[in-house]
Chain A
Amino acid sequence: MSTSTRTKRVKKVRASSAEDPAMAKSPVSKFFGRLALAIVVIITLFPIYWMVRTAFSDNRAMFGEPLSLLPVDFTLGPIERVLGLATPDEAIAEGGSGASINFGLYMLNSIITATLITVFQIAFSAMAAYAFALLKWKGRDAVFNLFLIALMVPVIFTILPNFVLIKELGLLNTIIGIALPAMFMTPFAIFFLRQFFFGVNLSIIEAAVIDGASQWRIFSRIAVPLVWPQIITLALLQFIFYWNDYLWPLLVGTTEESKLITVGLGIFRSQTPAGNPDWAGLMAGALLAAIPIFVLILIFGKQIVGSIQSSGVK
């Protein structure tokens, strides 16, 4: 679907929402329908709010007021603690463990890893998708279907041999070792990029061929710019996916230099003493890990929602 049809559809939906026959008419249904939606929104947002509330609370004072809706003894302590900015004494005074944790570094590792994967994966997948969508060659669909079969293989299945491979390459505990298997392509990205390229007007490509442009030039100067907004949205979704990934980085990146934020969070949780956990610190870490995602959603929410919606009906 091209951008222009998408905006057109959005406009159409907006214009007709008042007399949209799919929308309920009776005031009673409307009331209960909207009430139900409000409850859904609250159930969705409240746990996220609770994470924020806890992240700005004093870990000791908080236990006296478990029901307080506002942060208890508002403090930036937990954030400073997990960023490694507080001294062990300060941390312990506020109910932290005093162990050194450095979420700033883990976040940087995550940013580098997710960016590295996204940029290369989208670029290489786009090249492949171009060959599958806009070039004519024998065996095209057979090769494409072979690539798609990779979607059927469960993650855990390839993780075991891939771990052995990364170990043999001497890349354990490096960022490149975490990123490498995903950098070349995923069937998911190729599938959607191919759909995008199918939407490109063939007469433009045809004209470029007649002008004697090389395929690389047509790809990079014509085809990619035409579907650029969709590529950006797909890239965002992939970035979020790899930012959130846990199992593979847990296996491959265990040193400080290669630990990603999700892995750091998991370890932080397993190291908190059972009797006296640093919930404020844990939630501060969780909040830090979620902030980049919140920012992306605030900026690109509409595109992300649109992209997810179109992924099902295609």
Chain B
Amino acid sequence: MAAKVSRDNQIVPAMLFLIPASIGFLAFFLWPTIRGIYLSFTDYNLLRDPTFIGFQNYIDIFNDAVFWRSMAVTFQYVFINVGLQTVIALALAVLMHRFTRSMIIRGVVVLPYLIANVIVALVWFWLADYSLGLINAVIDGIGLNKIGFFGSEAWAMPTIAFVNVWRHVGYTALLLFAGLQAIPRDVYEAAEVDGAGEFRVFRSVTLPLLRPILAFVLVVTVVGSFQIFDTIAVTTGGGPVDATRAINFYIFERAFERFDFGYASALAVILMILLATIALIQNRLLRANESDMER
């Protein structure tokens, strides 16, 4: 049947259909990727032409204490954010799966994800403000010491991680919920017949069958949270001291505040390699492509 449709090769119309998308791919993905790698070997401040300096940027980065500190706080953020988010999203997905089919609840839960990072960051910046914010007013009201959520070195990164958990958890839960719905009903019937309790059903039925989609979600959220920027940019601006200077924010600062484009490009290359490595390792470890369930 298919052979009859395409009596011959349709390469000519295909190429015509691909013209606009190819322009975008070549001009704004492929060319900048090659150019970015090239710039990472140069000294470039946007005003004069880039000068080739070999691996100097990479050597400087290796000796850059701010870079290592930045990696440390980025990992701190990713760890808190992904850890909390995955656990809460999983619980929420199971709740939705076991207790409701309401479309409205699903809509509410995913709502924060559809609101801009900037807006979410500002709303929480206000809620968690030290002197006037609601959260500290409540803390103060019950007689505890106020907390400098965005203003103290110890709290700033966990607070930012929490804000983004709030924004993303519903979205992640919705993806997991979809995975739960794909689990055959009769498995639950069997578990019920066997008299398995709520927790037992989760551990022995739900979790193993959910593994492929859980793996997918983990790769996406880990790679995503390494690129945290907006929330930091509108709240702490990397501070206090350098407690929230995540790698993306550091790249931004080097490029657009210190006009060190070569150095920033080298940082970006390192981030890209790191993310590709992490995605590969995760895929291996979680055996993302295999399923416990026969599809």
Chain A interface residues (CB < 8 Å from chain B): 13-14, 17, 20-25, 29-30, 33-34, 36-37, 40-41, 43-45, 47-48, 50-51, 54, 62-63, 66-67, 124-125, 127-128, 130-131, 135-138, 140, 143, 146-147, 150, 152-158, 160-165, 167, 180-185, 187, 190, 202-203, 205-206, 209, 215-216, 219, 240, 243-244, 246-247, 250-251, 262, 265-266, 269-270, 279, 282-283, 286, 289-290, 293, 297, 301-302, 304-305, 308-313
* Given the contacts A30-B99, A137-B9, A202-B1, A161 and B116 also touching, CB distance less than 8 Å: no
Q: Across the two chains, which residue of chain B brings its CB closest to A236? A: B114
Chain B residues, Cβ within 8 Å of A165: 27-28, 31-32
Chain A residues, Cβ within 8 Å of B114: 240, 244, 293, 297, 304
Q: Are B2 and A136 in contact (CB under 8 A)?
A: yes
B143 lies within 8 A of chain A by Cβ: no
B153 lies within 8 A of chain A by Cβ: no
Q: Mark B160-188, 1 if CB is under 8 A from A, else 0.
A: 00000010001100111111111101101
* Given the contacts A161-B36, A244-B115, A297-B107, A128 and B189 also touching, CB distance less than 8 Å: no
13 more A-B residue pairs beyond the given contacts A247-B229, A302-B103, A313-B179, with a C-beta to C-beta distance below 8 A: A25-B192, A135-B17, A136-B2, A147-B25, A153-B33, A156-B227, A216-B13, A246-B117, A247-B230, A266-B118, A269-B125, A290-B119, A309-B177
Q: Are A312 and B217 in contact (CB under 8 A)?
A: yes
Chain A residues, Cβ within 8 Å of B105: 37, 41
Chain B residues, Cβ within 8 Å of A51: 119, 123, 126
Q: Are B107 and A206 in contact (CB under 8 A)?
A: no
* Given the contacts A44-B108, A156-B248, A251 and B36 also touching, CB distance less than 8 Å: no
Chain A residues, Cβ within 8 Å of B155: none
Out of A21, A181, A250, A289, which one reaches B192, CB within 8 Å?
Answer: A21
Q: Are A66 and B107 in contact (CB under 8 A)?
A: no
* B 96-139 contacts with A by CB, 8 A: 96-101, 103, 105-112, 114-120, 122-127, 129, 132-134, 137-138
Q: Are B198 and A160 in contact (CB under 8 A)?
A: no
Out of B39, B109, B111, B182, which one reaches A161, CB within 8 Å?
Answer: B39
CA distance A147 to B30 in the complex (A): 9
Q: Are A246 and B24 in contact (CB under 8 A)?
A: no
CA distance A155 to B36 in the complex (A): 12
Chain A residues, Cβ within 8 Å of B23: 184
Chain A residues, Cβ within 8 Å of B18: 127-128, 131, 143
B58 lies within 8 A of chain A by Cβ: no
Q: Are A21 and B33 in contact (CB under 8 A)?
A: no
* Given the contacts A37-B100, A262-B118, A160 and B123 also touching, CB distance less than 8 Å: no
B46 lies within 8 A of chain A by Cβ: yes
The contact sample of 5 A-B pairs, CB cut-off 8 A, is: A50-B134, A163-B255, A165-B31, A181-B27, A304-B114
Can you list the 9 inter-chain pairs with the closest CB atoms, starting with the nearest? Answer: A184-B24, A244-B116, A128-B21, A312-B175, A161-B32, A33-B99, A136-B6, A124-B20, A185-B21
B87 lies within 8 A of chain A by Cβ: no
A33 to chain B, nearest CB (A): 4
Out of A54, A125, A265, which one reaches B126, CB within 8 Å?
Answer: A54
* Given the contacts A137-B9, A164-B261, A313-B178, A36 and B1 also touching, CB distance less than 8 Å: no
B287 lies within 8 A of chain A by Cβ: no
Q: Across the two chains, which residue of chain A brings its CB closest to B206? A: A22
Q: Are A152 and B276 in contact (CB under 8 A)?
A: yes
Chain B interface residues (CB < 8 Å from chain A): 1-2, 4-6, 9-11, 13-15, 17-18, 20-25, 27-33, 35-36, 39, 46, 92, 95-101, 103, 105-112, 114-120, 122-127, 129, 132-134, 137-138, 141, 166, 170-171, 174-183, 185-186, 188-189, 192, 198, 213, 216-217, 226-227, 229-230, 233-234, 237, 248, 251-252, 255-256, 261, 264-265, 268-269, 271-272, 275-276, 279
CA distance A219 to B17 in the complex (A): 10
Chain B residues, Cβ within 8 Å of A161: 31-33, 35-36, 39, 265
CA distance A204 to B141 in the complex (A): 69
Q: Are B116 and A290 in contact (CB under 8 A)?
A: yes
Q: Are B24 and A185 in contact (CB under 8 A)?
A: yes
Q: Are A47 and B166 in contact (CB under 8 A)?
A: yes
Q: Are B175 and A308 in contact (CB under 8 A)?
A: yes
* Given the contacts A40-B109, A48-B123, A127-B17, A154 and B229 also touching, CB distance less than 8 Å: no
B292 to chain A, nearest CB (A): 15
B165 to chain A, nearest CB (A): 11
